[in-house]
Amino acid sequence: MSGNVNHKERLSRATLAQAPTSVTTPAYDPAQTRIGIVHIGVGAFHRAHQAAYVDNLLSEHPDWAICGVSLHSVEVRDALQPQDGLYSLLLLGQETQLRVIGSIRELLCAREQQADVLARLADPAVRLVTLTITEKGYCLSGDDLDVAHTDIAHDLASPNTPRSAIGYVTAGLRMRRQLGSAPFTVLSCDNLAGNGHRLRAAVLQYAQRIDAALATWIEAHVAFPCSMVDSITPASDDALRERVHAQLGYLDVWPIQRETYTQWVIENRFCNDRPPFERVGATMSDDIAGYDRAKLRLLNGAHSTLAYLGSLMNIETVVDAMSEPLLARFVERLMRDAIAPAIALPADMDADAYIDAILKRFRNPTIRHRLSQIAWDGSQKLPVRLLSTIADALALDLPIRTLCISIAAWMHFVRRQAHAGVALIDPLNEELSTVGRACKGGTAADVEAFLKLTAVFALLADDRRFTHALQDAYLALGDGTPASIARALAVANNASPTPLPSNG
Ligand code: CS2
């Protein structure tokens, strides 16, 4: 947008001082900070979440600025470099607040600046490497490194010129070992259960194949703490750019927006210095598994459910889905009656209060969070968000009917998109579209075809209690049209005495 806006009007260090007082600007001079963190995956979530925590730290701890690395795309670098790495973050709550974030000191695109990225990873001043590369970036198939993955196959053959995040992290650690310097801590900030364990497994298996002694060294010396990250971050759009331009008075080509609420729980296990994140609102904990489970299974499980059921009902956003009583009630019941009883939550967590807070966040009227954005990468998200809860519920002999409706909704969504000729944003798009196209709609054979997708259903495909419940749920959703989804939700909602949400 704003192609006609003069370049002089661009947000930058030079124009920062003229920002209106209503805008919060860095409490430090961004030119005086030093890089201590390399972050891989400088997408909206990193810029909404971790970079904002670091921004709050830099006035007292200026040596923890971030070098933001995109593996393939030049877009973020090219957008933010002319702005000296500065960008705006709009916080959406009862009151909105506009901040300018200055914590990203340097932006690199690994595909074009490989030597620079490797030099940063080798630099002893970098004591922490963080990642938001999404579920698929881990290149794992089950618990094993996917050696057939194009980027992993490439990196195994040429480990000094990697392409994958796993390849870069390992190359960095390899240089540290060769130079005799301390390793950096590797901190995953992705929505994955046990994200640090997953990352460690991928790096170790990869290192084992290129250099067994390196793998032993990593095992002994490198920490991969887990972390739980939470803040709803709708994609940026032209409306946001215009709003920010009007308030800031300068053009920011890539502002970010998120809800005011934010949470970051970090396992306190580092192998090098760490930023004092607890001073800026993060929780350092010895065991984050319970928080992790609560967030992924309740919030993200509910989100994915709304995404697929809501899309089938032709609803556009989370807040719109929550104002459809059938959906709002279904998702509340799902969390209270099906998910919470099946999972081990932190001892000090009040599940009902946590669920109330999630429902309130979903109803935030200032956020237009598109269901289509949440629907991305379903093949990667469902195992973490919903299928693992089904496995836990089965182990406890709890009912799984409601949970299976969420999975069945995804299947109908895949089928609908395939029949409409719309590609899915999903690494398994090809396989899913083939299965989706072959589906008749509403027949038991459809479910069997889906269950053959082992990357998604490996955990449960042989459990007859699950396959039967999934058949029932899929058939209950009829032909997946809005009317049949509404009918199925009405039936499902009446099957339990849970009262209607208060809508408060
Ligand atoms: C969402 C998440 O897009 C999605 O899949 O469920 O991005 C969600 O908004 C965040 O995890 C909230 O912390």
**Ligand 1 neighbourhood includes 374 CB (under 6 angstroms):** yes
Confidence at residue 237, expressed as pLDDT on a 0 to 100 scale: 96
Confidence at residue 251, expressed as pLDDT on a 0 to 100 scale: 97
Residue bearing the CA closest to ligand 1, atom 8: 232
In angstroms, what is the span from residue 365 Cα to ligand 1's centroid?
17
Q: Boundaries of CATH 3.40.50.720 in the chain? A: 13-286
Read off φ and ψ for residue 187, nearest 5 degrees: -115, 110
In angstroms, what is the span from residue 261 Cα to ligand 1's centroid?
13
In angstroms, what is the span from residue 349 Cα to ligand 1's centroid?
21
Confidence at residue 486, expressed as pLDDT on a 0 to 100 scale: 98
SS3 251: strand
Reply yes or no on whether the pLDDT at 5 is more than 60.
no
Confidence at residue 7, expressed as pLDDT on a 0 to 100 scale: 46
Residue ranges with strand state E in 94-156 = 97-101, 104-109, 128-131, 140-141, 144-145
Number of neighbouring beta carbons within 10 Å of residue 100: 23
Reply yes or no on whether the pLDDT at 503 is more than 90.
no
Q: Boundaries of CATH 1.10.1040.10 in the chain? A: 289-494
Which band of pLDDT confidence, cut at 50, 70 and 90, is reported for residue 25? very high
- What is the CATH code for 13-286? 3.40.50.720
Residue bearing the CA closest to ligand 1, atom 13: 230
Confidence at residue 496, expressed as pLDDT on a 0 to 100 scale: 55
Reply yes or no on whether the pLDDT at 1 is more than 70.
no
In angstroms, what is the span from residue 343 Cα to ligand 1's centroid?
20
**Ligand 1 neighbourhood includes 302 CB (under 6 angstroms):** no
Q: Average pLDDT, stretch 477-497?
A: 91
Reply yes or no on whether the pLDDT at 477 is more than 50.
yes
pLDDT tens by residue, 362-394:
999 999 999 999 999 999 999 999 999 999 999
Reply yes or no on whether the pLDDT at 347 is more than 70.
yes
Reply yes or no on whether the pLDDT at 453 is more than 70.
yes
Residue bearing the CA closest to ligand 1, atom 9: 232
Residue bearing the CA closest to ligand 1, atom 3: 374
**Ligand 1 neighbourhood includes 364 CB (under 6 angstroms):** no
In angstroms, what is the span from residue 410 Cα to ligand 1's centroid?
16
Residue bearing the CA closest to ligand 1, atom 10: 232
**Ligand 1 neighbourhood includes 191 CB (under 6 angstroms):** yes
Reply yes or no on whether the pLDDT at 504 is more than 90.
no
Return the ligand 1 atom nearest residue 233 CA: 9
Return the ligand 1 atom nearest residue 381 CA: 5
**Ligand 1 neighbourhood includes 433 CB (under 6 angstroms):** no
Among 191, 322, 354, 359, which residue has the most ligand 1 atoms within 8 Å of its CB, making it the best to mutate? 191
In angstroms, what is the span from residue 300 Cα to ligand 1's centroid?
6
In angstroms, what is the span from residue 264 Cα to ligand 1's centroid?
14
Reply yes or no on whether the pLDDT at 502 is more than 50.
no
- What is the CATH code for 289-494? 1.10.1040.10
Residue 103 identity (one-letter amino acid): S
| DSSP H/E element including 89 | strand 87-92
In angstroms, what is the span from residue 362 Cα to ligand 1's centroid?
11
- Burial category of 457 from C-beta neighbours within 10 Å (exposed 0-12, middle 13-18, buried 19 and up): buried
Stretch among 98-102, 127-131, 151-155, 286-290 having the lowest mean pLDDT = 286-290
Enter the tokens of residue 333: 């019941």
What value, to the nearest 5°, has the Cα angle with vertex 268 and ends 267 and 271? 115
pLDDT tens by residue, 192-215:
999 999 999 999 999 999 999 999
**Ligand 1 neighbourhood includes 230 CB (under 6 angstroms):** yes
Reply yes or no on whether the pLDDT at 498 is more than 70.
no
Enter the tokens of residue 44: 């909206």
Stretch among 41-50, 339-348, 399-408, 435-444 having the lowest mean pLDDT = 435-444
pLDDT tens by residue, 272-318:
999 999 999 999 999 899 999 999 999 999 999 999 999 999 999 99
**What is the rounded average pLDDT for all residues in the chain?**
95
Reply yes or no on whether the pLDDT at 71 is more than 60.
yes
β-bridge partners, 106: 67
**Ligand 1 neighbourhood includes 231 CB (under 6 angstroms):** yes
Q: Average pLDDT, stretch 53-57?
A: 98
- Burial category of 14 from C-beta neighbours within 10 Å (exposed 0-12, middle 13-18, buried 19 and up): exposed
In angstroms, what is the span from residue 370 Cα to ligand 1's centroid?
11
* pLDDT above 70 as % of the chain: 97
In angstroms, what is the span from residue 220 Cα to ligand 1's centroid?
34
The sign of the CA dihedral 357, 359, 363, 368 is positive
For the chain, report the end-to-end CA distance as a whole number of angstroms: 37
Confidence at residue 441, expressed as pLDDT on a 0 to 100 scale: 74
Half-sphere exposure of 317 (CA within 13 A, CB side): 16
